[in-house]
């Protein structure tokens, strides 16, 4: 029989060999990992990417930026806007044009461009032509500001509209300087279909002007967002109350514009946690995914 010292010696030798074997295996695993490491697997900004219907050469996108450079009076895109967008177009790139009001009722700033009439569409056509000549794709952001407006921006000095008649003490960009927004009136239930039609007609003009798609501005406290958020929507009809009802206006607009552009050419900009323009919900949680048909919006090419 082995004595105590021999047993300890054998055990020590066994542990030493096991450690050496494990060390060798670890080193071999490390060598394999190092050998497998080549280029990063994540795409870079310059990797081609498909967004909705658009095959883009890179992932750098021009965001919609308010410039207020349209020709006045008339809110018509002119040479300054042609130059601005042409300078930023790159082969295979994507440009999202600035917020463009769907009607005078939705105008939120002096000098903001519109897509309400043929003259404005003709101005945009020149912009799109210049961008396409550089090999880029261009979509138009459709905008209705709701209560973020002023009588001087409205046709015939009318009162701005909103889901509810709430004066949130907002500001608006007027001719020459900022000023206070005019307290809004609440849209009547039977008026809402007419506002949805404004979006559909704007989408039609955008398509006729040559735009490759559109983005609905449903964030930042503008009209669609005002319907979505319970802080600005106190309605008791089918457009207020539950999340489903507050989302109804957005989905009606989506249905209208996707009759003009395929859904893979329509984006929706949302801002669930954004409180800009005093638009907020009482419960601060990301409730947008709970909406019915939310998956449809998530599949929009420029949903942000």
Which active-site residues does the annotation give? 222
CB burial class (10 A; 0-12, 13-18, 19+) of residue 94? buried
Q: Is residue 280 helix, strand or coil? A: coil
Q: Which two tokens stand for residue 279?
A: 């638009």
* 171-173/161-162 β-pairing: unpaired
* DSSP letters spanning 65-128: ------BTTTTB--HHHHHHHHHH--TT-EEEEEEEESSGGG--BTT--B-SSHHHHHHHHHHH
CA distance 79 to 130: 11
Helix (H) or strand (E) holding 171: strand 171-173
CB 194 within 8 A of CB 184: no
Q: Decide: residue 73, CB within 10 A, 0-12 exposed, 13-18 middle, 19+ buried.
A: exposed
Residue in the block written with tokens 């109350």: 241
Q: SS3 of 142, please?
A: strand
Pair of tokens at residue 291: 């909406």
Cβ proximity of 84 and 67 under 8 Å: yes
């Amino acid at each position: 029989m082995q004595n105590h010292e021999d047993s300890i010696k054998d055990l020590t030798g066994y542990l030493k060999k096991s450690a050496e074997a494990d060390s060798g295996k670890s080193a071999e695993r490390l060598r394999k990992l190092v050998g497998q490491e080549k280029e990063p697997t994540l795409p870079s900004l310059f990797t081609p990417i498909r967004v909705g219907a658009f095959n883009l050469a890179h992932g750098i996108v021009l965001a919609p930026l308010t410039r207020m450079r349209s020709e006045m009076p008339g809110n018509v895109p002119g040479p300054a806007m042609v130059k601005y967008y042409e300078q930023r177009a790159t082969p295979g790139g994507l440009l999202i044009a600035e917020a463009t009001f769907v009607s005078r009722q939705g105008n939120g700033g002096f000098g903001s461009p519109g897509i309400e009439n043929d003259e404005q569409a003709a101005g945009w056509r020149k912009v799109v032509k210049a961008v396409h000549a550089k090999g880029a794709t261009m979509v138009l952001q459709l905008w209705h500001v709701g209560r973020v407006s002023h009588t001087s921006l409205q046709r015939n000095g009318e009162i701005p509209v909103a889901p509810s008649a709430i004066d949130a003490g907002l500001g608006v960009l007027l001719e020459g300087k900022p000023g206070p927004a005019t307290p809004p009136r609440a849209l009547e239930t039977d008026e809402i279909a007419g506002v949805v039609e404004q979006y559909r007609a704007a989408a039609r003009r955008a398509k006729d002007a040559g735009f490759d798609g559109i983005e609905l501005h449903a964030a930042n406290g503008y009209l669609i967002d005002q319907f979505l958020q319970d802080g600005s929507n106190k309605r008791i009809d089918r457009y207020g109350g539950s999340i489903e009802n507050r989302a109804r206006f957005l989905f009606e607009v989506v249905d209208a514009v996707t009759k003009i552009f395929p859904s893979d050419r329509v984006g929706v900009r949302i801002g669930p946690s954004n409180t800009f323009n005093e638009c907020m919900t009482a419960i601060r949680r990301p409730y947008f995914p709970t909406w019915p048909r939310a998956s449809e919006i998530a599949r929009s090419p420029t949903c942000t």
